Amino acid sequence: MHLTIIHPAIGHIRGERYIRSWQMEPLPAAAIAGLTPDDVTISFYDDRMEKIPFDTPTDAVAISVETYTARRAYQIASEYRRRGVPVIMGGFHATLMSEEVEEYAEAVVVGEAETLWHEVIDDLRKGTLKRRYQSVERPPLDAIRIDRSIFHGKRYLPIGLVETGRGCRFSCNFCAIQAFFENTHRNRPVADIVNEIESLKKEKNIFFFVDDNFIGNIKRAKELLLALIPLRIRWITQMSIDGAYDEELLELLERSGCKGVLIGFESLDEKNLKLMNKSFNTMHGGYQNALDNLRRYNIRIYATFVFGYDHDTEASFDAAVAFAKEQRFYIAAFNHLTPFPGTPLYKQLQDEGRLRFERWWLDENYRYNDLPFTPRQLEPEEVTRLCVESRRKFYSLGSILSRVLSPANYSDGFMLRNYFPINWMHRRDVSSRNGYPLGDETWQGTLLKVKRS
């Protein structure tokens, strides 16, 4: 049996190549390959960097669907299904919008695949695919298997993506993570993580632990950090700001090779943070104390801010940029709020009649960086414009030169060498994705829905 795994792009513009600045290995594809039995031949295509050979024979196609890639995924599925090839879809969007995804695939995997994929493959062999495969419990993470051989010959950034845990204990109202994992958090066995890193050390110059919140369980995180120290690696991750008040954790982060963390600051307005269900951001005296602690341990910050909440005004953007410059963040993101399906935020905006597009991810009139809803105090177009202006100010030449003077940013030779290329790429990408279509605008077909008996 032959299985084709596809990683869909957000979309494609007529006459232009896909934006290639930040292409990292798509870990979900390697996870599915790792769960697939050895006697199944696998082909893998990354829609961001290569054309998909739809006419090459295959027995089935597997696609992991995110909300931003849903329209393109349905286009790809339609091409294969028109050729008589069954399509299986999974991923976040397939779980949060399973009835929608079922319209475009023979089978949908709802939830995590580790306890389901063997059944999918068995049914494929027998020609008895079910409409839906749904996990009834959270699988133990010792079942994770990653097959990176599918990436050979493709040009990805030399970053090793490793999953150390899943989920988050917080319940931010805009976050699809909490909707998918239902506020649960689990850790992989430390030995499995160490073995995976050991196998990749020679070919990766830095690792990215892709966890939604690396310190979802601080005690387990410390156990892992102790095991990482002898490996002498560089790594980055995402974590909640509450970890900045745990001195033992911070010391272990530094000793284990942590070079930076992404922290969702989201807003400087406490009223907005309360609406997000993220008031924990301002615990123990607020951001300044947390940042001072992180800097003492030379941990660089990738700060993210979102705009469009009820108390945001034009001044909110200026304040966030000024704060980000003053704190000399290594990099920062200034993005509009996105209501993902399945989240409390989406339901709230839907109930209030504030969604501009009922299903923005499928609407032909929606473009990347459009605001999918109507905010309280600003026009949707203003939020998009001000996000771009904020990025432009933060990535100005003066700001880049000023921020490098933070001791945390220049104290490590590797991170200093990469500071200017990374900031320059962000500067170049300030507005490059604005107006980008969801789906391939050159595609001439129609989305082919499954006929159910």
The enclosing domain of 26 has a CATH number of 3.40.50.280
Domain limit, last residue, from 113, 140, 167: 140
> Which residues are CB-neighbours of 309 under 8 A, at least 6 positions away?
267, 269, 272, 275, 276, 337, 375
Count of helices and strands (H, E) across the chain = 17, 16
Q: Is residue 336 part of a domain?
A: yes
Do 16 and 126 fall into the same domain?
yes
> What type of residue sits at position 149?
S
pTM: 0.94
Q: Is residue 451 part of a domain?
A: no
Residue 231 is predicted with a pLDDT of 97
Do 116 and 175 fall into the same domain?
no
The closest alpha carbon to 242, from 267, 269, 216, 275, belongs to 216
Residue 311 is predicted with a pLDDT of 95
Half-sphere exposure for 99 (CA within 13 Å, toward CB): 2
Do 269 and 383 fall into the same domain?
yes
Residue 178 is predicted with a pLDDT of 75
> What type of residue sits at position 70?
A
**What is the total count of domains within the chain?**
2
Q: Is residue 232 part of a domain?
A: yes
> What type of residue sits at position 191?
A
Contact 304, 264 (CB under 8 A): yes
Do 106 and 252 fall into the same domain?
no
Domain with 354 in it: what CATH number? 3.80.30.20
Do 299 and 400 fall into the same domain?
yes
Do 134 and 164 fall into the same domain?
no
Residue 171 is predicted with a pLDDT of 79
Domain holding 120, by residue range, is 2-140
Do 66 and 157 fall into the same domain?
no
- Residue 4 CA to residue 225 CA, distance in Å, equals 37
Do 307 and 351 fall into the same domain?
yes
Do 241 and 381 fall into the same domain?
yes
Residue 431 is predicted with a pLDDT of 79
- From start to end of 188-337, where are the E strands? 206-209, 235-238, 258-266, 300-307, 331-336
Q: Is residue 449 part of a domain?
A: no
Mean pLDDT per 10-residue segment, the chain (453 residues): 97 68 87 96 95 97 97 98 97 94 97 93 96 88 92 92 90 80 86 96 94 93 98 96 94 97 94 89 82 94 96 97 97 96 93 94 92 96 96 97 95 95 92 85 91 74
Domain limit, last residue, from 140, 160, 189: 140
Q: Is residue 122 part of a domain?
A: yes
3 state DSSP class of 88 = strand
Domain limit, last residue, from 106, 140, 174: 140
Residue 17 is predicted with a pLDDT of 59
Q: Is residue 440 part of a domain?
A: no
- Residue 65 CA to residue 134 CA, distance in Å, equals 16
Residue 22 is predicted with a pLDDT of 66
Do 111 and 199 fall into the same domain?
no
Q: Is residue 436 part of a domain?
A: no
> Which residues are CB-neighbours of 304 under 8 A, at least 6 positions away?
262, 263, 264, 265, 266, 332, 333, 335
Residue ranges in 174-233 assigned as alpha helix (H): 176-181, 190-200, 218-228
Q: Is residue 283 part of a domain?
A: yes
Do 134 and 206 fall into the same domain?
no
Residue ranges in 205-286 assigned as alpha helix (H): 218-228, 247-255, 270-276
Do 226 and 319 fall into the same domain?
yes
Q: Can you read off the two tokens belonging to residue 446?
A: 């129609």
- Residue 376 CA to residue 364 CA, distance in Å, equals 25
